[in-house]
């Protein structure tokens, strides 16, 4: 087993930690030289499980990893397009929202363009162990990887994303019979696309709708049914007034707001990110359903206001129990393929919860600059990215705030280092 020691260890090479790597290289090159970024996959990809060729981002290309912090940066999306020889074509497209595959390629390009921060691929973090002093203070972090190797660091940044949400009702089904949206492209490839499958998609937001449409188009003999608890599909809330709440400058207001105001903001903004569809996909689905009714060849169906109250395996068939929320009537819906567009677990990821318990942290909370509250006197630090909606607003898990958040985290790391260096000369050695 090998072991490394670094100053800053970032877990997950997604947009959050790539933005951090860029900020380190531009704002603190000497710290960037002592930073390691670990990625469990063999390459960098954005929304890997839903990387469908026709899907677009809902966020402006100007909200890339760096532009809102440093418009002159060589790591901008515009510079990526220029480097790839597609700047003219993108300008001519007349769109602020790139295709998802373009953003994924941009992130890969950024990772390959880093000159100081190291990235190691195929390195899955399985456990984070705090190294404690006799008084219970966290002095550093020991990170254990899937291959048995370890890394220690004084500063840890976790940006690995939330855990997939698998509702308890599906707990009795074999995990291999369930495909969550995070693994859609790999999961759906296991099936014969020419067979007359019965496909059920659970959920009523963008990911569920994308899986429904992608499966309908790639499996011409399949019957595809979407089941949702809500009254029907809706478009995103995308007014310019609402979008101002995604500004980085709004984070201070949200963080300082009273608990009831935070709850109201999160509730009212839910449809701006989680409970809606892009207008184009919404129109496409409705027209397809209309056309199939017109021709009598109905392969696409949407069941609304239905609760999944049971799920079992009968032979090789999945049988779902649907309870109508209006009448209470129960029906059974058999299927061959079950796709979950059920989003993500609202709790902190299991990796973070386990780490906090080991560090003696009873309630996980972060300060304004995303630093985890550790036992008093701890010299180590841990920053959490993309999991702080309750304290920093709904934009926390999105691209909108990455550039500024990375700047704030780098600034806090540097301030803590400067303070430690100022204090250390005055610490007298303990007499033997």
**249-274 pLDDT tens trace:** 999 999 999 999 999 999 998 888 78
Cα 181 to Cα 207, 221, 343, 359: the distances in Å are 7, 22, 8, 33
The closest alpha carbon to 312, from 280, 335, 342, 284, belongs to 335
Task: Name the fold adopted by 3-163+346-423.
Answer: FAD/NAD(P)-binding domain (3.50.50)
List, as one string, the DSSP characters of 15-66: HHHHHHHHHHHHH-HHHHTTEEEEESSSS--SSGGG--TT-B-SS-TTSSSS
> 42: which residues sit within 8 A by CB, 6+ positions away?
121, 122
Distance from C-alpha of 48 to C-alpha of 53, rounded to nearest angstrom: 12
Query: 3-163+346-423 with 168-236+273-340: one CATH topology?
Result: yes
pTM above 0.85, yes or no: yes
Distance from C-alpha of 190 to C-alpha of 318, rounded to nearest angstrom: 17
Backbone angles phi, psi at 203, to 5 degrees: 125, 160
Residue 315, Ramachandran bin (φ over 0: left; ψ between -120 and 50: alpha; else beta)? left
Strand order in the sheet with 337-340: 178-180, 337-340, 198-202, 223-227, 300-303
Distance from C-alpha of 251 to C-alpha of 60, rounded to nearest angstrom: 19
Q: How many helices (H) and strands (E) does the chain have?
A: 14, 15
Distance from C-alpha of 377 to C-alpha of 366, rounded to nearest angstrom: 16
pLDDT averaged per 10 residues, the chain (length 432): 92 97 98 98 95 92 97 98 97 95 97 98 96 96 96 97 95 93 96 97 96 98 97 90 91 96 92 86 96 96 97 96 97 97 94 96 96 96 96 94 98 93 60 43
Backbone angles phi, psi at 96, to 5 degrees: -85, -15
Superfamily of chain region 168-236+273-340: FAD/NAD(P)-binding domain (3.50.50.60)
> 423: which residues sit within 8 A by CB, 6+ positions away?
none
Angle at the Cα of 375 from the Cα atoms of 373 and 380, rounded to 5 degrees: 75
The closest alpha carbon to 37, from 9, 59, 60, belongs to 9
CB 20 within 8 A of CB 385: yes
Strand, coil or helix: 223: strand
Give the residue extent of every domain in the chain. 3-163+346-423, 168-236+273-340
The closest alpha carbon to 288, from 196, 200, 220, belongs to 220
> 394: which residues sit within 8 A by CB, 6+ positions away?
245, 246, 265, 266, 269, 270, 272, 273
> 227: which residues sit within 8 A by CB, 6+ positions away?
200, 201, 202, 303, 306, 308, 320, 322, 333
In terms of Cβ atoms closer than 10 Å to its own Cβ (0-12, 13-18, 19+), residue 149 is: middle
Q: What is the biggest distance separating any 2 CA atoms in the chain, rounded to whole angstroms?
A: 90
In sequence order, the β-bridge partners of residue 131 are: 140
The rounded Cα 15 to chain-centroid distance in angstroms is 9
The closest alpha carbon to 398, from 259, 290, 227, 251, belongs to 251
């Amino acid at each position: 087993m090998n072991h490394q020691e670094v100053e800053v260890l970032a877990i997950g090479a997604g947009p959050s930690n790539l933005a951090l790597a860029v900020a380190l290289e531009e704002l603190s090159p000497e710290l960037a030289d002592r930073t390691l970024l670990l990625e469990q996959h063999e390459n960098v990809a954005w929304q890997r499980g839903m990387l469908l060729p026709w899907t677009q981002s809902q966020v402006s290309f100007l909200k890339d990893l760096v532009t809102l912090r440093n418009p002159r940066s060589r790591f901008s999306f515009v510079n990526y397009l220029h480097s790839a020889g597609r700047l003219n074509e993108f300008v001519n497209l007349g769109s602020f929202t790139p295709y998802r595959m373009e953003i994924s390629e941009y992130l890969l390009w950024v990772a390959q363009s880093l000159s100081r921060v190291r990235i190691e691929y195929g390195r899955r973090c399985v456990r984070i162990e705090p190294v404690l002093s006799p008084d219970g203070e966290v002095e550093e972090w020991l990170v254990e990887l899937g291959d048995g190797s370890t890394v220690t660091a004084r500063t840890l940044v976790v940006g690995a994303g939330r855990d997939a949400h698998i509702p308890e009702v599906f707990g009795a089904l074999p995990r291999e019979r369930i495909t969550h949206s995070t693994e859609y492209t790999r999961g759906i490839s296991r099936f014969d696309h020419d067979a007359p499958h019965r496909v059920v998609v659970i959920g009523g937001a963008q990911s569920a709708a994308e899986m429904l449409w992608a499966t309908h188009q790639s499996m011409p003999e399949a019957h595809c049914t979407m089941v949702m608890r809500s009254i029907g599909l809706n478009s995103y809330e995308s007014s310019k007034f609402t979008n101002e709440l995604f500004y980085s400058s709004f984070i201070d207001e949200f963080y300082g707001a009273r608990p009831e105001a935070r709850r109201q903001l999160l509730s009212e903004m839910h449809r701006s990110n989680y409970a809606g569809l892009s207008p184009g996909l919404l129109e496409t689905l409705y027209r397809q359903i209309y056309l199939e009714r017109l021709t009598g060849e109905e392969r696409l169906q949407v069941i609304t206001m239905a609760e999944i109250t049971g799920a079992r395996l009968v032979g090789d068939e999945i049988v779902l129990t649907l309870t109508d929320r209006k009448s209470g009537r129960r029906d059974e819906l058999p299927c061959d393929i079950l796709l979950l567009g059920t989003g993500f677990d609202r709790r902190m990821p299991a990796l973070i919860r386990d780490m906090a318990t080991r560090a003696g942290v009873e309630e996980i909370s972060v300060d304004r600059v995303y630093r985890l509250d550790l036992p008093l006197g701890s010299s180590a630090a841990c920053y959490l990215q993309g999991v702080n909606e309750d304290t920093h607003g709904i934009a926390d898990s999105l691209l909108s705030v990455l550039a500024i958040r990375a700047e704030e985290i780098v600034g806090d790391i540097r301030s803590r280092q400067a303070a430690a260096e100022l204090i250390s000369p005055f610490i007298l050695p303990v007499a033997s």
